[in-house]
Structure 1
Amino acid sequence: MKTDRDLSLPAMLVTVFLWASAFVGIRAVGDTFSPGSLTLGRLAVGAIALTIVARPFSTRLPTGRPLLLVVLYGVVWFGAYNIALNAAERDLDAGTTALIVNVGPIFAAVIAGVIYKEGFPKPLMIGMGIAFSGVVLIAVSTNSDSSAVDTASTTGVILCVAAAAFYAFGALAQKPALKHMRPITSVWLGCLVGVVVCLPFAPALIDDVGNASMHDLLWLGYLGVFPTAIGFSTWAYALKRISTGKAASTTYLVPAVTTLISWVVLDEVPAALAFVGGGLCLLGVAITRLRSAPRPDTTPAPVDESPAPSR
């Protein structure tokens, strides 16, 4: 019998490139759109694109617990994550932001350890310590490097760490929700929830659009169609077929791709020590994916107390 071909790997590679480009796009329009208005505009464009292409109303929509999961990741990931990320990139360049946000898988592991009772193995604790030392190094690196584009402010780093936590919560909530709906439907619903959450920013979005150049509007459209509608859909497609850990581990490529794109498009390069800090972040995350060595079995072998056979 013919089975569907698994395209999870190419789907994740598409996600990596589009999400990496999003960091650059956010940085490019950061002076035109406020964090809230940019989030609302991006999600609105994404929701419209998905409504036209996916025709989500033609499928059965989730109810009950799956719908609650949709609301959770819609608020936390599509809403709060994007607002925190947009605000962070006002202080940090695109590459540095991507490096810090990439500690998100660590938060996912911690949350899974609490909620799913997976525990806190030694590799997780060691990796967390290394990754957070990398975050600290990034936070202070550009103060001693005058060639850096911007000073990596404490506020920007804190916002990045918050965004990483929001990403982790969102990914963990979306995984079980995908059992009840198509990947593209899950993204469409997440966009709609995010739009509702961000409606208070509608007046700011109207003002920002009125003052935006065609270049800024094109970037806004790009962020909504490509990293949001397409990038999240390819992510959801892969996430439905592979574990959350495997999907998250692929996104470790995002910071490197972001740095290359921002170098070409924005002429931005993180400070020298920021690369070292980013390397520590990636090393720490990689260590958290190691398996703990099995404990030796010290239980004494049972003694055979049965009577000896008669001779």
Structure 2
Amino acid sequence: MNRTITGEQRTARLALAAAGATVILWASAFVSIRSAGEHYSPGALALGRLLVGSLVLGAILAARREGWPARAAWPGIAGSGILWFGLYMVALNWGEREVDAGTAAMIVNIGPILIALLGGLLLGEGFPSRLLAGMAVSFAGAVVVGVSMSGGGESSVLGVLLCLAAAVLYAAGVVCQKPALRHGSALQVTTFGCVVGTVACLPFAGPLAAEIPEAPLSATLNMIYLGVFPTALAFTTWAYALARTTAGKMGATTYIVPALVVLMSWLVLDEVPGWLTAAGGALCLAGVAVSRGGTGAAVRRLRGRDAPAEAAAPRS
């Protein structure tokens, strides 16, 4: 009995450490995107990031000799690859050309509520009664952010809408990825999801080839950083943790991202959102907190139901 408890505690700590690494690296991604986006178009930046990530992940996969995931994992890999690795990155890159990094992170952080909603509907993770209230509060926050940005012209409103689209794509991608992790390791699901996203972004190969010679070295290094760390490493640590908990609970770990992004943006880019934008972001986070208030029982039920399947899944 003690061995079982010790093993569960060790797994929980490793999953928590993996989630923490993901949160920090994803927060840094908002800052790097904002910087590199001054010299690379949204699609070109997404493709360059994914190419680097695919090369790094492919090399690690080959070194570990994990091979191809099971056939049952491919629907989830394809869905997450197109929606999350591909379309999400293009939408986020475009959105960050119109709003600052902190504001983008605040809006995208509506994603965890959508993950909880879709997880309850599609993955059987439970549907807490406070979820709708939390969604209402967070979307009210998004409206406040939109109003606060509207003074900058139509492009700022467009940026808010693009970040909202990124949040939806992020949530849909996570919900697609969760079932795939029952049939493939975190490294397999992440690697092939990244490759699928790369293929989806190949139409931007022309702009990428044209922009690389014109971009300063700092922008290209930012793109490489995005591919190695927030993509190859952070998406793998995310998948590792997601395989060991619910999609809704994993979404909750990203609540701290906006605060980290605002801090990093202030230190690196000298960007701090205005007070009304910050208030809207606080509403977004408050809504997420409200939505998590009644999920404990659902999480326990899901753990009990899925434990055998997750224990049998390959581990990276």
TM range, normalised to the smaller chain? 0.7 to 0.9
**TM-score (norm. length: structure 2):** 0.86
1:138 aligned partner: 145
Q: Cα distance, 1:193 vs. partner? A: 0.2
SS of residue matched to 1:122: coil
Distance 1:192 1:286 in 2: 34
Cα distance in 2 for partners of 1:244, 1:114 equals 12
Q: CA shift at 1:11, angstroms?
A: 1.0
Bigger shift: residues 8-17 or 50-59: 50-59
TM-score under structure 1 length normalisation: 0.87
How far did 1:30 drift? 1.1
1:250 and 2:257 matched: no
Per the alignment, residue 58 of structure 2 pairs with: 51
RMSD of the TM alignment (CA)? Answer: 2.3
Alpha-carbon displacement from aligned partner over 1:12-59 (angstroms, at most 9, x marks no partner): 111111000000000001121111111100000001111222327822
Which residue pairs with 1:129 in the alignment?
136
Question: Counterpart of 1:176?
Answer: 179
2:92 is aligned, of 85, 89, 98, to: 85
Looking at structure 1, the residues matched to 288 and 245 of structure 2 have their Cα atoms a distance apart, in angstroms, of 19
Structure 1 unmatched ranges of 5 or more: 295-311
Determine which of 85, 101, 113 is the counterpart of 1:94.
101
What is the SS of the residue equivalent to 2:182?
A: helix
Report the Cα distance in structure 2 between the residues aligned to 1:209 and 1:124, rounded to whole angstroms.
Answer: 45
The aligned residue for residue 232 of structure 1 is: 235
Do 2:61 and 2:67's aligned partners in 1 also have CA atoms closer than 8 Å?
Answer: no
Letter in 2 for 1:157: V
Secondary structure in 2 matching 1:257: helix
Report the Cα distance in structure 1 between the residues aligned to 2:254 and 2:105, rounded to whole angstroms.
10
Partner amino acid for 2:159?
Answer: G
Counterpart CA distance in 2 for 1:17 and 1:245 is 19
Residue matched to 1:304: none
Q: Distance in 2 between matches of 1:270 and 1:250?
A: 22
Deviation at 1:62, TM superposition (A): 2.5
> In the TM superposition, what is the alpha-carbon distance from 1:125 to its structure 2 partner?
1.3
Where 1:55 maps in the other structure, the secondary structure is helix
1:113-128 to 2 correspondences below 5 Å: 113-116=120-123, 121-128=128-135
How far the C-alpha of 1:248 sits from its partner, in A, is: 1.0
Residue 290 of structure 2 corresponds to 287
The amino acid of 1:218's aligned partner reads: L
SS at match of 2:121: helix
Q: Read off the aligned partner of 1:131 and give its amino acid letter.
A: S
C-alpha distance in 2 between matches for 1:281 and 1:86? 21
When Rg is computed on C-alpha atoms for both structures, the one with the higher figure is 1
**1:91 to partner: Cα distance:** 0.5
Between the aligned partners of 2:60 and 2:104, the Cα distance in structure 1 is: 31
Q: Render the CA deviation track for 1:150-203: whole Å, top value 9, x for unaligned.
A: 987211111111111111111111111111111112111011001110111001
**Is 1:108 matched with 2:118?**
no
Deviations 1:205-239 (A, max 9, x none): 00111111111111011000010001111111111
The corresponding residue for 1:277 is 280
Letter matched to residue 237 of structure 2? T
Identity %: 47
Partner letter of residue 103 of structure 2?
T
Give the letter aligned to residue 158 of structure 2.
T
CA distance in 2, matches of 1:268, 1:274: 12
CA contact (8 A) 1:17 1:257 kept: yes
Bigger drift between 75-84 and 65-74 goes to 65-74
- Shift in Å, 1:64: 3.2
Q: Partners in 2 of 1:3 and 1:82 — Cα distance?
A: 36
After TM superposition, the runs of 4+ consecutive aligned structure 1 residues lying more than 3 A away are 1-5, 116-122
Matched with 1:303 is: none
User: Cα offset for 1:112?
Assistant: 2.8
Higher mean alpha-carbon deviation, 264-273 vs 135-144, is at 135-144
Looking at structure 1, the residues matched to 184 and 295 of structure 2 have their Cα atoms a distance apart, in angstroms, of 34
**Is the 1:140–1:152 contact (alpha carbons within 8 Å) kept by the matching residues of 2?**
no
Q: 1:191 aligns with which of 181, 189, 194?
A: 194
1:19 aligns with 2:26: yes
Native 8 Å contact 1:101 1:163 kept in 2: yes
Q: Which runs of 5+ in 2 are unaligned?
A: 298-316
Residue identity in the other structure for 2:239: A
